[in-house]
Amino acid sequence: MTSGRGRFVVLEGGDGVGKTTQLPRLVTALEARGHVVRAIREPGGTPAGDAIRALLLDPASSLVPAAELLLFLAARAQVVADVVRPALARGEWVVADRFFVSTYAYQAAGHGLDLSQVRVATALATGGLVPDLTLVLRLGAAAAAARRARRGAADRMERHGSAFAARVAAAYDAALDAGWQARHPECGPIVGVDADGAPDVVTARLLEALGERPAPSATLT
């Protein structure tokens, strides 16, 4: 895609489903198909966003839910203005690790913040930008927990407890419902992708969901 508006794709899912593993693999596969791709993670992607990320993930940070939400959205507003919109205007793809749905899952469902207020604040941060497609990686709770354990020490966002994690997981499941998506058009289309299996198998599933032929296996390693 070299002319016109690019394509904005989001990887979503709870902690441990494999987004960090899949993001660079998907970028490599898309580049092998001839696309120019920019990868971002939330929060982050700009100097301001990276500083906010360090604060949000630091286990020593003491943040009330409203402060957490507003910090996430401050980082999002900056990366949308500085990175996402310019890349899309150049006809590039942008692949993001988290966007709308994670805010609704973690800050609204997880923390219990008022969803209507969260939606208004999110709209302000994004200026009406709608993802072309959100891919929710789906993995059982036990498998996700095992992956998190292999990563080592948990960050602040991973220390909210099992009840919080269950609310987040339920919110992701709800986002896959057609009725939910019709009530939340700002999120764009959302599809689930099975995240169980070898990394190259999951990457191939993501490519299929994007309507792309799987890249040669050498590009996925």
User: How does DSSP assign 60-123, residue by residue?
Assistant: T----HHHHHHHHHHHHHHHIIIIIHHHHHTT-EEEEE--HHHIIIIIIIIT---HHHHHHHHH
Whether the CB-CB separation of 74 and 67 falls below 8 Å is answered with no
Query: What pLDDT is stored for residue 202 in this prediction?
Result: 97
> 32: part of which helix (H) or strand (E)?
helix 19-32
Does the pLDDT of residue 74 top 80, yes or no?
yes
Does the pLDDT of residue 144 top 80, yes or no?
no
* Local confidence band at 4 (pLDDT 50, 70, 90 cut-offs): low
- pLDDT, tens only, 105-131: 999 999 999 999 999 999 999 999 999
Report the distance separating Cα 100 and Cα 48, nearest Å. 19
Strand, coil or helix: what is 128?
coil
Query: What pLDDT is stored for residue 89 in this prediction?
Result: 97
- The domain ranges of the chain are 7-212
Query: What pLDDT is stored for residue 16 in this prediction?
Result: 85
> 134: part of which helix (H) or strand (E)?
strand 133-138
Scan for tokens 């998506």, then name that residue: 181
Q: Write the CA distances from 157 to 14, 20, 27, 102, integer angstroms.
A: 11, 15, 25, 12
- pLDDT, tens only, 7-37: 999 999 988 899 999 999 999 999 999 999 9
Residue 165 bridge partners (DSSP): none
Buried b (16+ CB within 10 A) or exposed e, 116-133: eebbebbeebbeebebbe
* Local confidence band at 1 (pLDDT 50, 70, 90 cut-offs): very low
Strand, coil or helix: what is 25?
helix
- pLDDT, tens only, 189-209: 999 999 999 999 999 999 999
* Local confidence band at 155 (pLDDT 50, 70, 90 cut-offs): low
Q: Please provide the CATH number assigned to the domain covering 7-212.
A: 3.40.50.300
User: Average pLDDT of the chain?
Assistant: 90
95 against 216, higher pLDDT: 95
